[in-house]
Amino acid sequence: MSLGTIDLLRNAGIDPNDVVLIRHTVARVGRFARLGYLRERTGMQSESFIGRDKSYWMTFMGEPGGTTRFAALYKLTGRQPLETGLPAGYPSQEFNPGDEMYSLVPCDLLAEYENRLTIDWGGSYVKWAQYGTNDKRIVSIEERKPQFPGFDKLLLSFDDLSDIIGNPELYSAYRDAMSQVSAVYLVVDTVSGQQYVGSAYGENGLWGRWTEYASTNGEGGNKLMHDLMSEHPDRYHALQYTVLRILDKTTPMTDVIALEGVYKQKLGSRAFGLNAN
């Protein structure tokens, strides 16, 4: 006897009658998910949405080949006008007349299955939102891999970064998220406190740029970083990497570089840090 989503919900103490199942597609929602706005995009629904009175919204992402992967469980806490419910920085898009912002908060009752559980959504992909009583067969529960913490919490030592870049399959959640965005980032020498501001763009985005640091002992083609490592050969172990700003991959390279310059000025990394220009 195969297990389904109803079994999963009941085991978590959730009544399937109080659940709506939502299947997003990469084409429509993928970039919002990559930028960390899956919750907001999920909550943007019409007044007549079938989940409007359901406490739990079980959210999935469709993948190439027809796979449907569990992304997150949200709890509905209310609704508000769309124009007041969108956070600053939310990617612009056309809104449908009558759309509202349903207020959702992450719920950890099924957290252990996020990005691991795949289901058979069925052939009727048109029905992207269904009641929780429509049981979906569980196809697989994959081995747990390190989950990407989100760009706001991304803070890596050089050794952490080197381990992640060197094991792309184990850290596939990091690779997938980082390769899909452009970014302005910060490297800090935790011994001296000096900072370096850089930018990432192009085909592999942030993943590609930070791969250069991992493969060059922290130099990444930067003059002052090279000088620092020449003087202190083991100093790369003291480097720390974080993100200042995430940008859509469609952002023109010139705009990314211009924003990099703004952060250099704000942080004084030319006058007092490791930026040579």
Q: pLDDT tens across 158-169, in order?
A: 999 999 999 888
Determine the topology of domain 151-267 in CATH: GIY-YIG endonuclease (3.40.1440)
Give yes or no for a contact between 242 and 156, defined as CB atoms under 8 angstroms apart: yes
β-strand pairing of 19-24 with 56-62 = parallel
How many residues would you count in the chain?
277
Residue 207's SS3 state is helix
CA distance 8 to 16: 9
Q: How high is the pLDDT of residue 202?
A: 92
Q: How high is the pLDDT of residue 143?
A: 78
Give yes or no for a contact between 129 and 22, defined as CB atoms under 8 angstroms apart: yes
**Model pLDDT for residues 99-125, shown as the tens digit of each residue:** 888 999 999 999 999 988 999 998 755
Q: How high is the pLDDT of residue 86?
A: 75
The closest of 265, 150, 268, 162 to 214, measured between CA atoms, is 162
> Tens place of pLDDT for every residue, the chain, 277 residues?
578 999 999 999 999 999 999 999 888 888 888 788 899 999 999 889 999 999 999 999 998 777 899 999 999 999 887 777 677 777 766 667 668 889 999 999 999 999 889 999 987 556 899 999 999 999 999 877 788 999 999 999 999 999 999 988 889 889 999 999 999 999 999 999 999 999 999 999 999 999 999 999 999 999 999 999 999 999 999 999 999 999 999 999 999 999 999 999 999 999 999 999 9
Residues of the chain with CATH 3.40.1440.10: 151-267
Give yes or no for a contact between 157 and 239, defined as CB atoms under 8 angstroms apart: yes
CA 170 to chain centre: 17
Q: How high is the pLDDT of residue 260?
A: 97
